[in-house]
Amino acid sequence: MALLDTHKEDIERHLAKYPDKHSAVMPLLAMAQEEYGYVTQDAIGEIAGILDLDVTHIKGLIGFYTMLYDRPKGKYLLQICTDLPCALRGAEALSEHLCRKLGIQPGETTPDGLFTIENVKCVAACDCAPVMQVNGHYHENLDEEKLNKLLEDLRREAEVSEPAHYD
């Protein structure tokens, strides 16, 4: 279903905030991501139409802003900071360990749709390096053991929250 069908009032509210409707592009992209989990091709086209913007301009914004996604991401978004203070405390090795454990590379999602890994810049918790965010929640002073335990916990949590399938 289109955003205009489900969020007409919100869209109008955002449009009313700006003298130039192009300026509403970020709130509308955020709205689409909230609604669908990522900014779908249909949503890109719809937003381009609403704001009278070029589709390629919108795709450029999604590519530029790391918090926007144009493809589905895993249930758990693992954002490991590899910026300098975290790197000095072993973040690169930790990221490689994470990739090995999950069998994917940064930017990829596991085939079961559970995990997406991203290497990110400083998340403002350098005093607790190395740091990883899981769906926005901080996990600090990480090492391989803590990381393994965290993955186990997340898998267990996912099992509990997923409805059982019966044939």
Measured from the CB atom, the residue of 29 and 78 that comes closer to ligand FES is 78
Nearest distance, CB of residue 144 and ligand FES, angstroms? 17
At 91, list the tokens.
């973040």
Where on the chain is the footprint of ligand FES (CB under 6 A)? 81, 83, 85-86, 122-126, 129, 131
Q: What is the rounded distance in angstroms from the CA atom of residue 150 to the CA atom of residue 108?
A: 19
Q: Which of 132, 122, 66 is nearest to 94 (CA)?
A: 132
Longest dimension (CA), the chain: 56
Phi, psi for residue 125 in degrees, rounded to 5? -140, 40
Q: Nearest distance from residue 143's CB to ligand FES, in Å?
A: 15
Q: How far is the CB of 140 from ligand FES (least distance, A)?
A: 9
Which residue number, 124 or 164, has a Cβ lying nearer to ligand FES?
124
Of 99 and 122, the one with the shorter C-beta distance to ligand FES is 122
Q: CA 64 → CA 37, 68, 99, 102, 148, distances in Å?
A: 18, 8, 24, 26, 31
**Closer residue to ligand FES (CB): 30 or 77:** 77
